[in-house]
Amino acid sequence: MMIGIDLGTTNSLAACYRNGRAEVIPNRLGSHLTPSVVSVDSDGTVYVGETARERGRLYPLETAKVFKRSMGTDREFTLSGKKFRAEELSSLVLRSLKEDAEVYLGEEVTEAIISVPAYFNDMQRKATKRAGELAGLTVSRIINEPTAAALAYGVDKEQAQKIMVYDLGGGTFDVSILDIDDGVIEVLATAG
């Protein structure tokens, strides 16, 4: 099964297309959004999402957030004496989303399309793909966040139109301009 993942700076989510419609996949707490936060305690136990965010209030030095901005760099985050790169922390969020999707869907999830900010360069995109691989996913495609939103909007539109889609995320602001004509969607421009 393939899923789509918005690996966000602040929150992340997963979705799938089945039974003729798109579905946002709830996490193990029943929420559609999973905070992009990782915490590691002194025993090496890893916490992801809401639990990690709440734990970060008491243990801020054992918790990392907003690490997506460091994708593709050499920056390391030290949590309970262990060093992590941004793609390793992102892989923990992706693995959590993958596991939640498998429980919800009742089948193994092996592939994903992951959205990234429009401004991500090649190194940042490769780091995102690596994070997906570390999470046990085959990353079929990396797609710009506003383009993903625009495709979701235009997937059932047949009337010819040009549209501009804004993606005002927790840490980014991107835009894509698309041309939709007879069921064909062409990305004319994207920027972030």
The Cα 175–Cα 149 span in angstroms is: 10
Q: Which amino acid is at 96?
A: S
Q: Which residues are catalytic?
A: 6, 68, 145, 167
Residue 86, classified by CB atoms within 10 Å of its CB into exposed (0-12), middle (13-18) or buried (19+), is buried
Give the H or E element holding residue 30.
none
In the structure encoding, which two tokens stand for residue 1, read together? 């099964």
The Cα 86–Cα 74 span in angstroms is: 8
